[in-house]
Amino acid sequence: MPPSANIALSLTGVSKSYGRVRALEDLSFDVTEGKFFVLFGPSSVGKTTALRTIAGLVRPEKGSVHIFGRDKTDAEIAGRGVSMVFQSFALYPHLTVYDNFAYPLVEEKVSREEIDRRVRETAAMLKLDKKIDRKPNTLSGGEQQRVALGRSLIRRPKILLLDEPLTNLDAKLRHDMRAELKRLHRQFGLTIVYATPDELEALSMGEEIAVMRDGGVVQVGTPDELYEKPRDTYVAGKIGSPHMNMIRGKTTRDSKAVESGIGLLPLARKMAGVVAGEETLLGVRPSDIRFAAKGEKGVAASIAMLEPLGDVTVVSVEAGGETLRMVLPESAAASLQPGQAAYIYLDPQKFHIFRASNGQALS
């Protein structure tokens, strides 16, 4: 059955290979209309191939692509109501900003008056109205990115696909463009599918995030869901900065604690499906480790390294053969020195338990 009407995009069991390389493997996800949806993962997990499949530039070997309830798996590019912004901007260097904007509308045989109206409206919206007579090579990287966006937006697509669009920009421009994209999303209520390997982009922009690995989706959720309830160690390691600490151990006979190199770590709640003596990975976020208060039972440790990051400092400590990272306010870390002895407290309420054998979370 086709997806319901409020689902803008649905990929079901999509697979694609290039020779022996499997680019997509049983890829499935749904995007609700009006959502800012992010495909997140490192290079070569299939993000670009997924976008190109949605746009019709790639035909899958298996599976289906539904756009607003209609099967578009084998449909022509022009009839999909989808527009894509590429990582390289892909602007026409010999054309002015005005003509770059106008080109898609000329191809669609829109009237000259309507083209002029929409070009000037789009240029003003993207703060390019004073530069419409200039060519791309005379613009800054951020301005070129806005031209690429405008050329896609001017077609009024139902779905906008963005393939790592901020990669070629410096840090400040990336920050500014993140804010600009979120503003445009709110203003137009666009359905956006955004591919990025950057965790900050994914978490700050995505209303829903699909974490990808080996051509498929490992977990889909809001930023909070992925942070609080990672399905496995792969997701736990990708979401959150600094990344989650992992402590090797095994469950006690009564399954109420984990025995580890840093001592016995009691569990705040009973874990379903835990086998006594099973080897586990106990995950704890750096923000959930602190120095033990006076009279509180803590774990003996020593300060290994300090990484000042402005208002916070990442403190690495060594305990029982494990190196753990914690995040402290800069003021709390100012007096610390490498080699200094300390006692740390790990919050049992915030423990994440994973099977060592396959990395799957135990709930």
pLDDT digits (tens, 9 = 90+) for 158-172: 999 999 988 877 888
The CA distance from 142 to 161, in Å, is 18
Contact at 8 Å (CB) between 298 and 292? yes
The encoded tokens of residue 344 equal 């740390």
Task: Look at residue 5 in the predicted model and tell me its pLDDT.
Answer: 53
- Residue 291 — φ and ψ, nearest 5°? -75, 140
| Segment among 51-65, 137-151, 227-241 with least mean pLDDT | 137-151
**Structural class in CATH, domain 7-237:** alpha beta
User: Residues for the chain: how many in total?
Assistant: 363
| Angle of helix 97-107 versus helix 141-153 axis, rounded to 10 | 20
Whether 233 shows a pLDDT value over 80: the answer reads yes
Whether 21 shows a pLDDT value over 70: the answer reads yes
Task: Look at residue 62 in the predicted model and tell me its pLDDT.
Answer: 96
Of 135, 132, 15, 144, give the one whose Cα is nearest residue 73: 15
Q: What is the CATH number of domain 242-362?
A: 2.40.50.100
pLDDT tens for each residue of 272-318: 677 788 899 999 999 999 999 888 888 999 999 999 998 999 999 99
- If you average pLDDT over residues 74-96, what whole number do you get? 88
Containing 121, the helix (H) or strand (E) segment is helix 112-125
pLDDT tens for each residue of 192-220: 999 999 999 999 999 999 999 999 999 99
Segment of 52-56, 75-79, 91-95, 102-106 carrying the highest mean pLDDT: 52-56
Whether 120 shows a pLDDT value over 90: the answer reads yes
**Quick check: do 7-237 and 242-362 share a fold?**
no
> Could you tell me the residue ranges of all domains in the chain?
7-237, 242-362
What is the SS3 assignment for 39? strand
Whether 4 shows a pLDDT value over 80: the answer reads no
The encoded tokens of residue 9 equal 């995009």
The CA distance from 246 to 221, in Å, is 22
pLDDT band at residue 323 under the 50/70/90 scheme = very high
- If you average pLDDT over residues 54-75, what whole number do you get? 95
Using a 10 angstrom Cβ sphere, with 0-12 exposed, 13-18 middle and 19 or more buried, the burial of residue 159 is buried
Top-confidence residue, 295 or 103 = 103
